[in-house]
Structure 1
Amino acid sequence: MPIITIEAGKMNKDQKDALIRDLTQTASAILKIPEQSFIVVLKENDPDNIGSGGKMLSKIIAERNRSNT
């Protein structure tokens, strides 16, 4: 049974639904394994627990939001 694991920031229910559906469909088509065989695990991480370029993701998001307003 193949397992697809995605780690990301917080997601809403619609985003989770789309990820599970689309990842399953794509992997099934590529690997030629029935969709029912796949397990998808979504791991949500708090933006304070993710860093990029030496900054916490929460700070990067806040900076982006300030520059977009």
Structure 2
Amino acid sequence: MPFIKLEGGKIDKEKKERLISEFTRIASETLGIPEEAFVVLIKENEMDNWGTGGKVLSKILAERGNK
């Protein structure tokens, strides 16, 4: 059973549904495996759970003027 995992920030329900659908479709076409065989996991993380350059992502985004 093929497994696809995406880790990222918060994603709304409609985008999750589209990601799951498109990941499954493309992987099925590429690998020649039926769509029903795929499992897709979307793991959402808080921005304070990610860091780079010694800073949490929420601070980096705030400094850049992003949410």
1:15 offset after TM fit, Å?
A: 1.5
Count of residue correspondences: 66
Distance 1:15 1:64, change over 3 A: farther
**Percent of aligned pairs sharing the same letter:** 53
Residue 49 in structure 1 maps to residue 53 in structure 2: no
1:29 aligned partner: 29
Gaps in structure 2 of 5+ consecutive residues: none
Root-mean-square deviation (Å):
1.3
SS of equivalent residue, structure 2 residue 65 = helix
Structure 2 matches for 1:1-69, cutoff 5 A?
1-65=1-65
Structure 1 length normalisation: TM-score? Answer: 0.84
User: d(CA) in 2 for partners of 1:33 and 1:62?
Assistant: 43
Q: TM-score, normalised by structure 2?
A: 0.87
| Distance apart, 1:34 and its partner CA | 0.5
Q: Which runs of 5+ in 1 are unaligned?
A: none
4+ residue runs over 6 A deviation: none
